[in-house]
Structure 1
Amino acid sequence: MKYTEKISNKLNDLLILTYDAKRGYKLAAEKVDNPAIKKFLEDKANQRHNFGHELKSEIVEYGNLPEDSGSIKGDFHRAWMKFVTTISSSESERMLEEVNRGEKKILNSYNDILNNKEWILPNTTRDLLSKQRDAIKSALETSKMYEEVVS
């Protein structure tokens, strides 16, 4: 497999996770009542939308086609999010827990790509992924803060 294909495949993996995160944030925003948490979740859904466009552009730069949908795992996770809100006494807390779980997974994926010693990423790709990873870290910290407040 060519170098550009390997990177494109990894970027497409991130793109799929980004689609999943966007949908997860949207679902979580629909399920919470707290206005501050709702705004945070809506903002993160929009951020992931923008991340998706950035990743698509990067994939096209490598001469490949970007994925156009999320994963089956993401569909199952959102179904689980819907289910747990029906049995949980604190929808906000439970939604934030699920958001945190998803963010940790995507954060690990970014770190795997950025720390991979098998290839050297071009600076533009490394900068983009680092910027997005740092934003995800920040969102995770904020989400944890909100979770502590509502628990």
Structure 2
Amino acid sequence: MNNEQTISVLNDLLQITNDRIKGFEKVEGKVWEMYPDIKDEYDRMISQSKVMKNELINLITEKNGVPQDSPSIAGAIHRTWIDIKNSFTVGNLENSTLENVVFGEKAAIEAYQNALDTGELCEKSTKIVAEQLRNLKDSYRQFKKIEEYKKE
């Protein structure tokens, strides 16, 4: 197991987590205020993302790595695309925004699963990343339910 490769994988996850936080921040105010019944879940996701971010930073620094603590370029492009798409959305902006959240959560799940599948993580990192993946899957299921509920 290559320490540099482990740091690289963890930094990729850190950027994805930062993308998730930025994505949630962009959604705030557009949808959640209209649906106070899901506001608590949203707040929990933000808090969870910040904990995940800190855990990843700690794992990277424990390996003597330098955390790349910024959102990714791909994430910035995706958020810009969502802004453009939403500016042309006619009808239900809430459903469109929920679809984007579900899409983002699914992409994060795939990235986390790929990170685990690389075999480049030490035992401690694997345990933490696997737990974060479980939380992402829970989040995805929750938002998928909300998205389906809003379509009815």
Is TM more than 0.5 here?
Answer: yes
Q: Quick one: which amino acid aligns to residue 48 of structure 1?
A: S
TM-score of the two chains, using structure 2 as the length reference:
0.89
Q: 1:79 to 1:30 in 2, by over 3 A?
A: farther
Letter in 1 for 2:5: K
On the 8 A contact 1:18/1:51 being kept in 2, the answer is: yes
* 1:103 maps to which of 82, 90, 105: 105
Equivalent position of 1:150 in the other structure = 150
Runs of 5+ consecutive residues of structure 2 not aligned to the other structure: none
In structure 2, give the amino acid aligned to 1:110: Y
Q: CA shift at 1:76, angstroms?
A: 1.9
For residues 56 and 124 of structure 1, what CA distance do their matches in structure 2 show? Answer: 13
- Give 1:26's aligned residue: 25
SS state at 1:8 partner: helix
Change (3 A) 1:37 1:47: same
Q: Structure 1: which amino acid aligns with 2:141?
A: E
Q: What does residue range 29-108 of structure 1 map to in structure 2 within 5 Å? A: 29-32=28-31, 33-86=34-87, 87-108=89-110
Check conservation: 1:100, 1:143, Cα contact below 8 A: yes
Does the 8 Å contact 1:81/1:98 carry over to 2? Answer: yes
Taking the aligned partners of 1:51 and 1:97, their CA distance within structure 2 comes to 23
Unaligned runs of 5+ in 1: none
Deviating 4+ runs (over 6 angstroms):
none
Q: Is the CA contact 1:12–1:67 (under 8 Å) kept in the aligned structure 2? A: yes
Whether 1:122 aligns to 2:144 is no
Aligned residue type for 2:30: K
Identity, % of aligned pairs?
28
Structure number with higher relative contact order (C-alpha < 8 Å, ≥ 6 residues apart): 2
More deviation, 108-117/82-91: 82-91
Q: Is the 8 A contact 1:26 1:41 kept in 2?
A: no
Q: Secondary structure at the match of 2:98?
A: helix
Q: Distance between the aligned counterparts of 2:122 and 2:76, measured in 1?
A: 32
What displacement does 1:9 show? 0.3
